[in-house]
């Protein structure tokens, strides 16, 4: 059930990019002080980025755990910083102390930017996010802090169309048009606004033509000709569209036809629905709650039965915040980083002291006779995709348990599609589910297909979990 990392920006690399921006801000600050009136645009852009860094503060992990912030970081390196350097180099004498943007700084690749867009599109699809609100940094009514530019929205539209999702692409194009700078803004040139509109309309024209929406394409090309009345290219396209409207099958030159997007399976659609429901309510299930005495810690435990068969139980507040922080501190992050260079999204190792401490969990669950495997830890972020896990037919495991050490702010629910059940496991709580039938106690019995589960994509923040499996003769 563990996620597979999408090739893209690692947390360490994103931290390096934030450090690069800090270096650029320091260099530009000295430069700005010497420019006075000529540098007003640079001052405005730099102040905006500097404000973001002040808001991030020590919360770097939370900041890069937000997919909109990741896209915002990469966008700044593709558009804002090159523009600032171009403006700064106009006064050569004052720009001598600026670092060389191409050779001296840690910069993102084009692939990272494309992956960031695809990650955001995937989250938009799973959680049914609206482009208009998502572009403002608002998800489920929560202000995330990152606002997308018109060029970001345009790239989202192009990627959506490339994936065969014409309707979503058109929504993003409308959002991009609404984000074009106001021509009355003194910091925005009319040519910049017009150039952006031409790019958006031309993209819309190509999408409409390929989709067979010739009437819409004709309206768009006429609007383009108003902006570029001497353009021979748009005149030719207008003639081709008019012929297409009259029944001609001619196509735009040098345009590749795209494959239609494969529709989601019924199970995929249902899983998406369960993931969305998991962002609106803490728990969905039968809610049979009971209390149990924890003799090892002299306290009462609150248990919530979510399913009788297969047996699924949520144990609330197994660990308090101090204990979870202590366990997080026992993770071997350095060894995971080294290992992950060759294995995508490798597990985090737990120290022997941490593994020994986890044994107390079995006593709290009433499983002192069980023989547990070593616990593993995994970190989930918006970049990771989790396929459903099929219970192994060869394993002797009869149950699995997931302990949540760090909650995601949105997303990350554990979903059981066959049971129509989604569960958000609170921090310090443990979810335990059987993976073999209650009526068959043998460790060699066939797995229960209803125990198939996956972890929904993390929409905001980072989730850190531990997973354990049990060999046992009976269920509790």
Kindly provide the residue ranges of all beta strands, DSSP E only, lying in 150-225, ordered along the sequence: none
Fold of 266-471: Jelly Rolls (2.60.120)
Over residues 63-102, the pLDDT tens digits come to: 888 888 888 888 888 888 888 887 777 666 666 666 676 6
Look at residues 278, 289, 320, 300 and name the one whose alpha carbon lies nearest to residue 410. 278
Q: Is 4 helix (H, G, I), strand (E, B) or coil?
A: strand
CA dist., res. 126 & res. 456, Å (int): 9
Q: How confident is the model at residue 471 (pLDDT cuts 50, 70, 90)?
A: very low
Over residues 146-184, the pLDDT tens digits come to: 788 899 899 999 988 888 888 899 999 999 999 988 766
Percent of the chain with pLDDT over 70: 70
- C-beta of residue 261 within 8 angstroms of C-beta of residue 165: yes
Domain locations in the chain as residue ranges = 1-108, 266-471
- C-beta of residue 439 within 8 angstroms of C-beta of residue 391: no
CA-based max dimension of the chain: 85
CA dist., res. 205 & res. 211, Å (int): 10
Q: Is 406 helix (H, G, I), strand (E, B) or coil?
A: strand
Look at residues 56, 109, 49, 57 and name the one whose alpha carbon lies nearest to residue 81. 49
Over residues 20-59, the pLDDT tens digits come to: 888 888 877 777 766 665 667 777 888 888 888 888 888 8
CA dist., res. 397 & res. 435, Å (int): 7
CA dist., res. 161 & res. 57, Å (int): 37
């Amino acid at each position: 059930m563990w996620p597979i990392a999408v090739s893209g920006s690692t947390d360490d690399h994103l931290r390096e990019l934030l450090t690069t921006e800090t270096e650029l801000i320091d260099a530009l600050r000295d430069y700005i002080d010497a420019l006075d009136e000529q540098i007003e645009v640079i001052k405005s852009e730099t102040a905006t980025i500097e404000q973001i860094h002040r808001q991030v503060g020590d919360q770097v992990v939370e900041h890069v755990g937000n997919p909109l912030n990741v896209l915002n970081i990469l966008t700044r390196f593709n558009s804002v910083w090159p523009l600032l350097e171009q403006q700064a180099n106009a006064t050569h004498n004052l720009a001598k102390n600026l670092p060389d943007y191409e050779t001296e700084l840690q910069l993102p690749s084009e692939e990272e930017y494309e992956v960031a867009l695809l990650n955001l599109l995937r989250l938009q699809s799973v959680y049914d996010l609206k482009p208009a609100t998502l572009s403002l940094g608002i998800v489920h009514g929560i202000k995330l802090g990152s606002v997308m530019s018109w060029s970001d929205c345009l790239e989202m539209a192009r990627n959506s169309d490339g994936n065969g999702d014409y309707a979503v692409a058109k929504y993003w194009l409308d959002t991009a048009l609404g984000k074009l700078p106001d021509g009355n803004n003194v910091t925005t040139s009319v040519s910049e606004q017009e150039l952006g509109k031409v790019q958006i309309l031309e993209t819309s024209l190509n999408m409409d033509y390929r989709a067979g929406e010739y009437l819409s394409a004709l309206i768009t090309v006429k609007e383009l000709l108003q902006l570029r009345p001497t353009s021979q290219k748009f005149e030719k396209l207008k003639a081709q569209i008019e012929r297409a409207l009259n029944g001609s099958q001619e196509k735009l030159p040098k345009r590749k036809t795209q494959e239609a997007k494969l529709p989601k399976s019924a199970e995929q659609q249902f899983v998406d629905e369960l993931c969305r429901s998991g962002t609106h309510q803490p728990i969905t299930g039968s809610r049979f709650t009971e209390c149990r005495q924890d003799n090892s810690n002299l306290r009462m435990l609150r248990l919530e039965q979510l399913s009788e068969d297969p047996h699924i139980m949520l144990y609330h507040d197994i660990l308090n915040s101090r204990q979870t922080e202590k366990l997080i501190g026992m993770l071997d992050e350095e060894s995971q980083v080294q290992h992950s260079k060759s294995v995508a999204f490798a597990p985090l190792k737990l120290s022997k002291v941490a593994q020994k401490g986890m044994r107390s969990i079995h006593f709290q669950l009433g499983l002192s006779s069980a023989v547990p495997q070593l616990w593993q830890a995994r970190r989930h972020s918006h970049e990771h995709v989790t396929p459903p896990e099929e219970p192994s037919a060869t394993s002797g495991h009869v149950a699995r348990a997931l302990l949540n050490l760090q909650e995601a702010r949105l997303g990350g629910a554990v979903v059981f599609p066959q049971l129509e059940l989604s569960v958000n496991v609170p921090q310090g709580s443990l979810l335990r589910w059987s993976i073999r039938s209650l009526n068959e106690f043998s460790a060699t019995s066939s797995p229960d297909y209803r125990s198939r589960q996956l972890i929904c994509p993390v929409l905001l923040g980072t989730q850190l979990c531990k997973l354990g499996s049990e060999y046992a003769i009976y269920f509790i």
